[in-house]
Chain A
Amino acid sequence: MRLWTQLQRRTPLGWLQLKHDRGRLLVALAGIAFADVLMFTQLGFQASIYDSNTRFHRALNADIVLLSPKAQNLQNLSTFPRRRLFQAQDVPGVISGDGLYVHTLTWRNPDTRLDATVQMFGFDPDAQLFRLPEVNRQQQQLKLADTVLFDRGARGPYQGTIAALSKGQTLTTESERRTLRIQGLYSLGASFGSDGTLMASDITFLRQFPKRQAGSLSLGLLRLEPSANPDLVAEQLRRHLANDVRVLTREGYIAFEQAYWRRASPVGVIFGMGTVMAFVVGVVIVYQVLSTDVAAHLAEYATFRAMGYRTRFLLVVIFEEALVLASLGFIPGFILPLGIYALASKATFLPIAMTAERALKVFVLTLMMCSASGAVATRRLQAADPAELF
């Protein structure tokens, strides 16, 4: 309350000073906006790596996932015995379980007729393994041998293929000397690990990869009774099953994939460093502006000191300037990345979008950036000595 009355009677000197020198204000705001845009871009790409690599996981219709202890990520899943899936269904709370086969496939791009790599998922067309309405609607058609559905979000020169399929046409292409019929489309999206995906029946899958055995699953997907606690059931499954299988909850499986990319791929680190660099650039720009501003007002500050103002008053003025700059600079710094995100997600097929969490994070970073610059700029205040200046 006292602080509020104090604020009300205070002349907003920092703001008035900034407002007075429009040119300096614009330079500072442009610098902050630039740093913010860089930070948003870096953090956006970083988040999109993790998001894109877990879109498959989040689309799974499963409460608990079984996988091999040797599994590293979606591209290197290894296999485990199908018996474990049947044994898992003895545990109370488990309603049903289905197997999923995953393998990387080199096929001929129907557009370019050049070899390309996609990921193929094979499953029983009578079971609903994905929370993807387009897949659920079309999966009965997969019962026809060598029929597949194709990912609309695939990265690469697939425009012609997607356009034709959208019109309801059926395309054929070749892979490892077999002919595949592409029957329809669904949306999953490219990730850092794979350019695109195909859905097929387990029969088609096993015919495509004769070395893969029906008894060796890539993933086992369990659905639980609505009342069951997934963590408790997972714990029971770990005790019930042999240790040649790993049991993860849905959230645990998403975290497992994210942890891999965080650990094994340098991209997260690179974007993290990019963010730090943007922060440093911001500190330098804001410091330049604030210290020029202090230098330009030294005589005025010395006068305030002669009038009996404490050094603390001048510090507050500089931090006020820093906070005003941070808040105003954040506005363009927030708006511009919205456009950049839209362009980038179009160009890379990666999911990049603004989140409230990231906006808050960058705003806090902006405040820190400006305060740090302000703190360095205050060292120049020592020169504001009325006895030396007059």
Chain B
Amino acid sequence: MAASIAIDGLQHHFGRGALRRHVLQDIQLRVAEGEIVLLTGPSGSGKTTLLTLIGGLRHGECGSLRVLDRELIGANDRQLTEARREHGYIFQAHNLHRSLTALQNVRMALEVRGRLSAAAMDQRAAVMLERVGLADHLHKTPDQLSGGQKQRVAVARALVHEPPLVLADEPTAALDSRSGRDVVNLMQQLARERGSTILLVTHDNRILDIADRVITMEDGRLREDGRAA
């Protein structure tokens, strides 16, 4: 099976000189297409750093980091930007734009790719918002929506362009358990339909069951826990 993510001997440091700190040590990781992988571990273990490297938000130092058949180590800013367009990224906070309606926020994920007409983009964004149960809230701005609704808009934004890879950084951290559960179920359901790969960083034990595989990170190293149910 083709690998969505293939990492070999990846290292990463923060700081310079005497303050230089090893945050990622010799990472090996392979995530197959369509797989749902959870990455857990204590704070400061390097989970988010690994996620931002895979997401092309950060320049990698050495080793090999292939994401969707693109080598990201040594890629320039432009290539990283191109790579990001292939991902759906969900943050801990919803990070919706306050001045835009739910529909406009979701549309922004289509606009960056520059293929569809304005009408087609609105259409697709609306369909996506209906899928996440927000059909009645298309034209509300984020401050008119609840926390769970906002995170569902963020999920819609991350998935509307049908990305082959979805990256999520503690998407349930700011939500109560029911909304958190809803959001994760939604992600799982939509990803399954499209065969998208999901890599999800979380502290939240309640959602471990959605994963095909759980990986734990400690002090910059990966430890495989085996497959979940």
Contact = CB atoms under 8 A, between A and B. Distances in A.
Interface string B90-115: 01110111111000100111011110
A303 B98 CA distance: 12
B117 A9 contact: yes
Interface in A197-241: none
Interface in B35-58: 48, 52, 55, 57-58
Given A8-B118, A9-B117, A386-B57, A300 B85 contact: no
A308 B81 CA distance: 5
A317 to B, nearest CB: 11
A13 B85 contact: no
A308 B111 CA distance: 10
A34 B82 CA distance: 44
Contacts of A177: none
Give the size category of A's interface with B.
Answer: 20 to 34
A302 B116 CA distance: 24
Contacts of A20: 98-99, 141
Given A10-B111, A299-B95, A386-B57, A308 B85 contact: yes
A307 B112 contact: yes
A11 interface: yes
Contact of B169 (A10, A313, A390): A390
A122 B140 CA distance: 79
B111 A386 contact: no
Contacts of A6: 114
Nearest to A18: B99
A304 interface: yes
Contacts of A9: 111, 114, 116-118, 121
A323 B5 CA distance: 44
A20 B93 CA distance: 21
Interface string A282-315: 0000000000000001011011111111100100
Q: How large is the interface on B (under 10, 10 to 19, 20 to 34, 35 or more residues)?
A: 35 or more
A1 interface: no
B52 A386 contact: yes
A263 interface: no
B66 interface: no
A28 to B, nearest CB: 15
Contact of B112 (A297, A299, A309): A309
Contacts of B86: 308
Contacts of B48: 390
Contact of A307 (B78, B108, B141, B169): B108
Contact of A306 (B55, B92, B99): B55
B221 interface: no
A387 interface: yes
A387 B97 CA distance: 18
A26 to B, nearest CB: 16
A345 B37 CA distance: 77
Contacts of B89: 306-307
Given A13-B100, A299-B93, A303-B91, 9 more contacts: A6-B114, A9-B114, A10-B111, A11-B100, A11-B108, A297-B98, A306-B57, A308-B85, A387-B52
Interface of B: 48, 52, 55, 57-58, 78, 81-87, 89, 91-93, 95-100, 104, 107-109, 111-114, 116-118, 121, 141, 157, 169
21 contacts: A9-B111, A9-B117, A10-B111, A11-B104, A11-B108, A16-B100, A17-B99, A19-B99, A300-B95, A300-B96, A302-B95, A303-B91, A303-B95, A304-B108, A304-B112, A305-B81, A308-B85, A308-B113, A309-B81, A386-B57, A387-B52
5 A-B pairs with least C-beta separation? A308-B85, A20-B99, A308-B84, A387-B58, A303-B95
Interface of A: 6, 8-11, 13, 16-17, 19-21, 297, 299-300, 302-310, 313, 386-387, 390
